[in-house]
Amino acid sequence: MSTTIESGAEFAGTTADLAAFQGVAVSEDTILDLAEGRFGELRVRPAGDLRCRLAEATVSAGRLDQPDEGIAAYDLTDATVGDVDIDCDADSFDRYRFYRTGFEGFRFPSYHTVLRDNRWDSHDYVHEPTEPVTVEGLEQTYLGAKQGAADIGDSETGSMFFVRELRYRRRRYAAHARAARHSTAHRGDAVLRWITSGFLDLIVGCGERPQRTAFLALAVILGCAVAFPATEGLVAGDEVVTYASHGLAAVVDSLYFSILTFATLGLGDVHPTGTLGRFLAAFEGLVGAFLTAVFVFSLGRRVTR
């Protein structure tokens, strides 16, 4: 039988092995308050619009449904969620607020498509939250989600949440660098951490996207190959290879030399003649050694997940 709650229903702090709310709806501005509850299994099947507060609750199992008509919104701020089914698709995922939420057995693989379509964003909420979102809170949100996914062996979801966690951490560094209340040393350290984090995100996607490093390495090799003949040229055998002497064909020898230099092989059969070319070769060798190490680390991280 459907029941409409007109003035609110508070079950805060309830402890139950099984709690079922079947056919329940609430009037406007009314909340079904299950905050701080402890539920071995919780089933909520709304008959219409519903706002359910589950802040700081522990829900070990169960199902949180959507009504046939209307919107059911579940605020799971600071809650702990176990093997709970949620009724959602990509357009309705924001009806579940996962903010600083802990996960103990939540089946992330069942929601891969939904999460991917939402760009792995789990904290957006259809209603105005009672507690404002902070950068620190968002960092904690994705740290908890990453750990929850890792605990069940879902490496793909854990990887994506890890990237989001580090990006919010970078925002925290930026906020600390701008905050006058912090000491000069603290703000300087925050700036350095912000730069380092952004650099690692750019070249390797926080350790989760080795393909970025591979593309950057290819760009460095091709860029240097184009640049070498524009300096004083390369010595190849008994001739000096430049654009002036060989035209675009100079790129062939230059590409060969660029690959060797990037890989720090240094066979010596081709070498730059001018100071600028030598400095460019030294720079490419340093970048090559660094990017190779980063790529191996990132690839190993992905393989062992």
Q: Is 127 within a domain?
A: yes
Q: Which distant-in-sequence residues (6+ apart) come within 8 Å of 271 by Cβ?
A: 234, 235, 257, 281
Angle CA 202–207–208, to nearest 5: 95
Q: Does 242 share its domain with 186? A: no
Give the residue-averaged pLDDT of 282-304.
86
CA 11 – CA 15 distance, rounded (Å): 9
Check: CB of residue 223 under 8 Å from CB of residue 251.
no
Q: Does 10 share its domain with 81? A: yes
User: First CA to last CA across the chain, in angstroms?
Assistant: 48
pLDDT band at 130 (very low <50, low <70, confident <90, very high): confident
What order do you get walking across the sheet with 9-10 strand by strand?
Answer: 9-10, 32-33, 50-53, 72-75, 96-97
pLDDT band at 298 (very low <50, low <70, confident <90, very high): confident
Check: CB of residue 197 under 8 Å from CB of residue 166.
yes
Give the residue-averaged pLDDT of 38-49.
93
Question: Of 199, 211, 210, 107, nearest to 152 (Cα)?
Answer: 107
- The fraction of the chain above a pLDDT of 70, given in percent, is 95
Angle CA 79–85–86, to nearest 5: 80
Per-residue buried b or exposed e for 23-46, using 16+ beta carbons within 10 Å of the residue's own CB: ebbbeeebbbbbbbbbbebbbbbb
Question: pLDDT of 197-218, one tens digit each?
Answer: 999 888 888 777 888 899 999 9
pLDDT of 7 reads 53
Q: Does 245 share its domain with 259? A: yes
pLDDT of 1 reads 41
Q: How many domains does the chain have?
A: 3
pLDDT band at 62 (very low <50, low <70, confident <90, very high): very high
pLDDT of 4 reads 52
Q: Does 270 share its domain with 240? A: yes
Q: Is 141 within a domain?
A: no
Q: Is 273 within a domain?
A: yes
Angle between helices 275-303 and 184-204 (to 10 degrees): 80
Check: CB of residue 165 under 8 Å from CB of residue 146.
yes
Q: Is 223 within a domain?
A: yes
Q: Does 53 share its domain with 93? A: yes
pLDDT of 302 reads 67
Q: Please give the structure tokens belonging to residue 292.
A: 């190779």
Torsion of CA 43, 48, 50, 54, to 10 degrees: 10
Q: Is 138 within a domain?
A: no
pLDDT of 171 reads 94
Mean pLDDT (the chain) is 90
Query: Which one of 77, 99, 133 terminates a domain?
Result: 133
Question: pLDDT of 9-31, one tens digit each?
Answer: 668 788 999 999 988 877 777 78
Q: Does 165 share its domain with 201? A: yes
Q: Does 13 share its domain with 127? A: yes
Full domain range(s) for residue 296 = 210-303
Q: Is 55 within a domain?
A: yes
Is residue 252 classed as helix, strand or coil in its secondary structure? helix
Q: Does 164 share its domain with 73? A: no
pLDDT of 53 reads 93
pTM of the predicted protein model: 0.78
Least confidently predicted of 56-65, 92-101, 236-245: 236-245
Query: Which one of 108, 133, 158 terminates a domain?
Result: 133
pLDDT of 222 reads 95
Q: Does 199 share its domain with 290? A: no
Q: Please give the structure tokens belonging to residue 205.
A: 């996607």
Q: Does 219 share its domain with 296? A: yes
Q: Does 188 share its domain with 80? A: no
Q: Is 144 within a domain?
A: no
Q: Is 85 within a domain?
A: yes
Least confidently predicted of 140-144, 181-185, 242-246: 242-246
Query: Which one of 133, 159, 175 terminates a domain?
Result: 133
Q: Does 232 share its domain with 250? A: yes
- CATH code of the domain covering residue 269: 1.10.287.70
